[in-house]
Structure 1
Amino acid sequence: MRALVVDHSAAAHLSLVEVADPKPAPGEALVRVEAVSLNYGEVKGAADPKTPDGTVIGWDAAGVVVNAAADGSGPAEGVRVVTLGGAGWAELRAVPATLLGVVPDDADLGAVSTVPVAGLSALHVVRRLGPLLGRRMMVTGASGGVGRYAVQLAARAGAEVVAISRNPDQADGLRALGAHEVHTDPAAVDRPVHAVLDNVGGRQLVDAFAALQAHGVLVSVGRSSESNAVFPPEALQGDEGRHDRSIRTFFLLRNPATDFSADLAWLAAEVATGRLDPGIRWRGPWTRYDEAVQALIGRRLHGKAVLDVG
Structure 2
Amino acid sequence: MEFTDVPQPAPQAHEALIKVEAFAPNRGETFLLERPGPGPLPGKDIAGLVVQAAADGSGPGVGTRVTGHPPQGGWAEYAAVPTHSLAVLPDAIDSTRAAALPLAGITALRLLRAAGSLTGRRVLLTGASGGVGHYVTELAAASGADLTVVTATPERGRRLADLGAAEVVHEVAAAQGPFDVVLESTGGPELPTALSKARPGGLLIWFGQASRTPVSLDFFDLLGGPAGVTIQHFHYAGAPYGPDLAALVRLVEQGRLHPEIGRVADWDQTADVLVDLRERRVRGKAVLTTGAAR
TM-score normalised to the size of structure 2?
Answer: 0.94
- 2:43 aligns with one of 58, 71, 79: 58
3-state SS, counterpart of residue 20 of structure 1: coil
My pick for the range that moved more, 196-205 or 172-181, is: 196-205
Name the structure 2 match of 1:308: 289
Counterpart CA distance in 2 for 1:184 and 1:305 is 23
Does 1:15 find its partner at 2:10?
no
Deviates more, 1:151-160 or 1:294-303: 294-303
Identity %: 38
Q: Name the counterpart of 1:221.
A: 207
Q: Which residue, 14, 17, 20 being the options, matches 1:33?
A: 20
Residue 93 in 1 paired to residue 74 in 2?
A: no
**Aligned-partner Cα distance in 1 for 2:2–2:40:** 10
The reply to whether residue 279 of structure 1 matches residue 260 of structure 2 is yes
**SS at structure 2 position matched to 1:202:** coil
Give 1:282 shift.
Answer: 0.7
**Maintained 8 Å contact 1:115/1:267:** yes
Counterpart in the other structure of 2:234? 250
Please tell me whether the aligned partners of residues 136 and 160 of structure 1 are also in contact (alpha carbons under 8 angstroms): yes
**1:188: Cα distance to partner?**
1.0
The match for 1:7 is none
Name the aligned partner's letter for residue 153 of structure 1.
L
Displacement of 1:106: 2.3
* Distance (whole Å) between structure 1 residues aligned to residue 252 and residue 44 of structure 2: 18
Secondary structure at the aligned position of 2:48 is classed as strand
Residue segments in structure 2 that go unaligned for 5+ positions in a row: none
Tell me if structure 1 keeps the 8 A contact 2:177–2:198: no
What's the counterpart of residue 114 of structure 2? 128
> In structure 1, the residue corresponding to 2:76 is in which secondary structure?
coil
1:69-148 equivalent positions in 2, closer than 5 A: 69-85=54-70, 86-148=72-134
Partner of 2:154: 168
CA distance in 1: counterparts of 2:157 and 2:236, whole angstroms: 28
Confirm whether residue 236 of structure 1 aligns to residue 236 of structure 2. Answer: no
- Structure 2 residue aligned with 1:9: none
Asked if the contact 2:111–2:236 (Cα under 8 Å) also holds between the matched residues in 1, the reply is no
Tell me, which stretches of 5 or more residues in structure 1 are unaligned?
A: 1-13
Q: Does 272-281 or 62-71 show the bigger shift?
A: 272-281
Q: Does the Cα contact within 8 Å between 1:82 and 1:112 map onto a contact in 2?
A: yes
RMSD value over aligned CA atoms? 1.5
Which residue in the other structure is 2:169 paired with?
A: 183
Contact 1:112 1:271 in 2 (8 A): no
Structure 1 segments, 4+ long, off by >6 Å, are none
Whether the 8 Å contact between 1:147 and 1:199 is mirrored in structure 2 is no
Tell me which amino acid in the other structure corresponds to 2:265: G
Contact 1:161 1:181 in 2 (8 A): yes
Q: Distance in 2 between matches of 1:273 and 1:204?
A: 36
* Whole-angstrom distance in 1 between the partners of 2:22 and 2:284: 16
SS in 2 for 1:38: coil
How much does 1:238 deviate?
A: 7.3
Letter in 2 for 1:247: I
Q: Does 1:156 align with 2:142?
A: yes
